């Protein structure tokens, strides 16, 4: 039993696995939005910090987008996502069996499933194996004899096949960045896709401007991250504790890696977002001088993120200068993004 969802991946070079496959899932129900439109409408551009433990130390994972932007977008267009979560904190075996049975039942009822999993366990992937519990696939079928699921993965050109055993491990196992034994997926019912309304991109842009500039907003988080990195570097310069030096190297390397790896374009989602904003402003009656200023600022911002992504990607051995370059680059980005958002704010206020 295979649901008729095309394996062709659109927008493969823009966004990430979640955005690309969410766009594909919507299209299956006749709702067409690109990853860029989803991000702009849901004010999804961000700079977020998430804490996790590496041994006894607290480390930080950064994200250039909101984790839940797909759900926020669905809410904005009036689409009710049917979401299911399973916690194996009490009876792990029973919960995992229930999860599998529910997934098979929904597939047999004709519902493709948008499933979150840790790509570390997906042996069909040709990329370096590392724990990333936020990877998404669309499950479209199940073979009861082989006991395996058929899925679409935005990283692959063909259908992929995932056994029951691997599916459970990829959905439930904990890792460095996944601290709870909880699995989740969602699906869309035909009746929930019937009354979707068009979304006003301007509302999303206005919301992003607000979230960037407000107290404890995006810019404040970016500024706080810079200050945190400066304090770590300063302490490591006068510290002879090898464990602390290793922590500093790991934390800086992790930030570089996330800047490079999160977005298919390796630009921390900035090109995806700002290109769509430029299309929006080009169609409106906004001052030409401000539009030109916005274009230059966002091009500079995209270039700065690209340099940070390339800096770590081209280096195998960690050197202290990379930590200093990261701070220097983020400081430039902070000012350029503040100017870009201020420019957006002025344009939105002066539309004629």
What's the rounded Cα separation, in Å, for the pair 257 and 143? 37
Which parts of the chain have pLDDT scores under 70?
176-181, 312-316, 352
186 shares its domain with 205: no
282 shares its domain with 320: yes
Looking from the CA of 33 toward its CB, the CA atoms found within 13 Å total: 29
47 shares its domain with 144: yes
* Residue 293 lies in domain: 201-350
User: For residue 3, how many other CB atoms are within 10 A of its CB?
Assistant: 17
Instruction: Please give the pLDDT value at position 314.
Output: 59
Instruction: Please give the pLDDT value at position 204.
Output: 96
Instruction: Please give the pLDDT value at position 313.
Output: 55
Q: Tell me how many domains the chain contains.
A: 2
The domain that contains 72 carries what CATH number?
Answer: 3.90.70.10
- Picking from 159, 193, 227, the residue at the C-terminal end of a domain is 193
85 shares its domain with 28: yes
Instruction: Please give the pLDDT value at position 181.
Output: 64
pLDDT digits (tens, 9 = 90+) for 62-109: 999 999 999 999 999 999 999 999 987 778 899 999 999 999 999 999
Residue 3 lies in a domain: no
80 shares its domain with 177: yes
Instruction: Please give the pLDDT value at position 180.
Output: 60
Would you say the pTM of this structure is higher than 0.95?
Answer: no
What's the rounded Cα separation, in Å, for the pair 133 and 118? 4
SS (H, E, C) 96-145: HHHHHHHHHHHHHCCCCEEEEECHHHCCCCCCCCCCCCCEEEEEEEEECC
């Amino acid at each position: 039993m295979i649901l008729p969802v095309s394996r062709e991946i659109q927008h493969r070079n823009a966004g990430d696995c979640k955005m690309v496959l969410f766009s594909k899932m919507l299209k299956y129900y006749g709702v067409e939005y690109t990853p860029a439109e989803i991000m702009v409408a849901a004010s999804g551009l961000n700079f977020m910090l998430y804490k996790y433990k590496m041994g006894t130390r607290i480390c930080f994972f950064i994200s250039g987008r909101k984790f839940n932007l797909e759900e926020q977008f669905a809410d904005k267009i009036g689409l009710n996502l049917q979401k299911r979560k399973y916690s194996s904190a009490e009876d792990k075996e029973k919960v995992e069996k229930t999860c599998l049975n529910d997934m098979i039942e929904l597939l047999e009822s004709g519902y493709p499933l948008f499933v979150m999993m840790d790509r570390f366990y997906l042996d069909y992937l040709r990329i370096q194996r590392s724990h990333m519990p936020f990877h998404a696939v669309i499950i479209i079928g199940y073979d009861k004899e082989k006991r395996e699921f058929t899925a679409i993965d935005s990283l692959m050109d063909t259908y992929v096949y995932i056994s029951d055993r691997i599916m459970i491990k990829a959905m439930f196992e904990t890792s460095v960045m996944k601290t709870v034994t909880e699995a989740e997926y969602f699906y869309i019912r035909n009746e929930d896709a019937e009354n979707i309304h068009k979304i006003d991109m301007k509302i999303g842009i206005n919301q992003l401007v607000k979230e960037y500039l407000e107290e404890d907003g995006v810019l404040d988080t970016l500024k706080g991250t810079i200050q945190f990195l400066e304090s770590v570097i300063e302490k490591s310069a006068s510290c002879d504790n090898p464990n602390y030096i290793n922590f500093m190297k790991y934390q800086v390397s992790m930030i570089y890696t996330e800047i490079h790896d999160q977005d298919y374009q390796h630009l921390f989602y900035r090109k995806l977002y700002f290109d769509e904003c430029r299309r929006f402003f080009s169609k409106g009656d906004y001052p030409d001088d401000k539009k030109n200023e916005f274009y230059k600022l966002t091009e500079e911002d995209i270039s700065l993120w690209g340099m940070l992504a390339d800096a770590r990607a081209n280096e195998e051995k960690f050197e202290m200068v990379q930590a200093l370059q990261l701070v220097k680059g983020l400081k430039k980005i902070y000012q350029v993004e503040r100017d870009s958002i201020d420019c957006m704010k002025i344009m939105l206020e002066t539309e004629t």
